[in-house]
Amino acid sequence: MSPMRKTLLISVFFLFLFPISVIAQIEEGSVILHGTAIDGDTLLFMELPMFEYIYYSPPGFKTRSAERQYTRMVKDIKKVYPFAKEAGKRLDHYAPLLDSLKDNKKEQKQYFDKIEAELWDKFGAELKKMNFRQGHLLIKLVDRECQITSYEVVKDFRGALSAFFWQGFAQL
């Protein structure tokens, strides 16, 4: 074999071997970054995802009672908001099934009783601890989350008469 041919074979061998060795060094889940050497120091560049940060400064209050009312509202919303989110998820989950049971009142009642028992077991203790303000906020947040009024939710689950009664009671 000629020296030229040996050199060519060795160079081809190293050309194919080098990318394999580089690929073998990359671990699963690792990130490859582009870098640049500036003044003997290597700087890595990474593209960060864009996000919008909105900073709301606390509102200025004219009176101490307005400030207390605002902080109480914020505290109540922080307590109630997770329940409203969960209610929205649950209503979205139950909506197709409820639509399929519109014709069969007996199955619908059995299913409603099962849902109510499940929800009462999971959230009953926390809901009993809420005060009137927090309950009022919960109803408003559920209305916003589900894009339907609480009257319509109660009407679907309990019937029009019960919904009418609870709507009147809520307005007191």
Average per-residue pLDDT for the chain: 80
* Range with the largest mean pLDDT of 14-18, 19-23, 83-87: 83-87
Query: If you search the block for the tokens 């077991």, which residue do you land on?
Result: 121
> What pTM did the predictor assign?
0.58
Q: Of 10 and 67, which is predicted with more confidence? A: 67
Is 62's pLDDT higher than 80? yes
| Residue 170 pLDDT grade (very low, low, confident, very high; cuts 50, 70, 90) | low
CA 123, CA 117: separation in Å to the nearest integer? 10
| Residue 18 pLDDT grade (very low, low, confident, very high; cuts 50, 70, 90) | low
Do the beta carbons of residue 150 and residue 142 sit within 8 Å?
Answer: yes
